[in-house]
Amino acid sequence: MAPSAAVEAAPLRVAPPTAAEPTASTWVRESNLHWYHRLLIRVLQAGPIPRHVAFIMDGNRRYARKANIAKAEGHSAGFEKLSETLQWCLEVGITEVTVYAFSIENFKRTQEEVDTLMNLAREKFQRLLAERDRLHERGICIRIIGNWDLLEPDIRRNIAEAVLLTRHNRQAILNVAFAYTSRDEITHSIRTVARAVGDGQLEPEDVNEELLTRCLYTKYSAEPDLLVRTSGEVRLSDFLLWQSATTVMYFTETLWPEFTIWHLLGAVFYYQRVRWRMVDVRKALDQYTDDEEGIVAAAASCAKRKERVSRFLEYVEREEEHLLVRLVRGTGIK
């Protein structure tokens, strides 16, 4: 994997916005930006804006300790910051966001904390369904990526319904990585392809990087242009490892619940300064991929291969949609 640009950002020396937090928890917020925020956004929009930004929302527990509140309140504050940040992203011009909401590794925490996080997830996904009209109005597509088999049946049912309800929305995309790790995602992709080879749907020579990519949880998404991690940790924690070969990475000491519009704008500005490095890396990778595809294209069976792969991917997509429908109806739960 090619190295990605990284920086450990110093805290920004600009006063945070003074707009009051809304009292009701919501996924879809109204703007709380002032004129000077909008002015700076317009300046940044004169340059390239990342289309897809990923967030590792780290620091909820440390924020709780710092504020002398319960861990559950720290996680709730983290959700409120997520919904606020999503609105900022829309106003900046970022059309796709992926957030690391719950890692499979988080199941190793105390049972009390895991139960707290699952109950918070139930509440927020139910709230998501209640706001379906606002999601359609804004054109927001919700995708939940991760190993759903690890979740309780009621949570699976709620997230399946949210995905089905919003799947045709195209103005903005929110990918929520829940019960997710990149290693699990890659394993899932390999198993999917291996099963197809065993069943005779594919031939061993059909398997390549592109096919594995199209069997990932994130197959409908472009690779992230920018990844932001809060709390001072400078690592990916098993998040989007396959997809981040040319992603610009921005690290800040700020705890996630204390993240502000200034931090987001600082990350976008950093992206504009260093993205050219990743463009060169992408060109090199694309050249390698094109050479590999040229070898494959030279084979006499190229047309048959394309037909097999296309038929297989259509089959996978149909099966996933049927599973969503069964989950919503309560018949697809193991």
User: Where do the domains of the chain lie?
Assistant: 35-288+297-327
Tell me how far the alpha carbon of residue 162 is from its chain's centroid.
Answer: 16
Q: Of 107 and 23, which is predicted with more confidence? A: 107
| DSSP class per residue in 108-158 | GS-HHHHHHHHHHHHHHHHHHHHTHHHHHHHTEEEEEES-GGGS-HHHHHH
Q: What angle do CA 217, 212, 284 make, to 5 degrees?
A: 110
Distance CA 319, CA 292 (A): 30
- pLDDT value, residue 25: 76
278-312 pLDDT tens trace: 877 777 777 766 555 555 445 446 888 999 999 99
Distance CA 147, CA 302 (A): 33
CA distances from 92 to 174, 265, 279 (A): 15, 8, 22
Q: Under DSSP, is residue 186 helix (H, G, I), strand (E, B) or coil?
A: helix
Q: Which CATH number fits domain 35-288+297-327: 3.30.565.10, 1.10.620.20, 3.30.950.10, 3.40.1180.10?
A: 3.40.1180.10
Distance CA 258, CA 271 (A): 21
Q: Of 222 and 22, which is predicted with more confidence? A: 222
71-108 pLDDT tens trace: 999 999 999 999 999 999 999 999 999 999 999 999 99
pLDDT greater than 70 at residue 53: yes
Distance CA 253, CA 192 (A): 39
170-204 pLDDT tens trace: 999 999 999 999 999 999 999 999 999 999 999 99
pLDDT greater than 90 at residue 145: yes
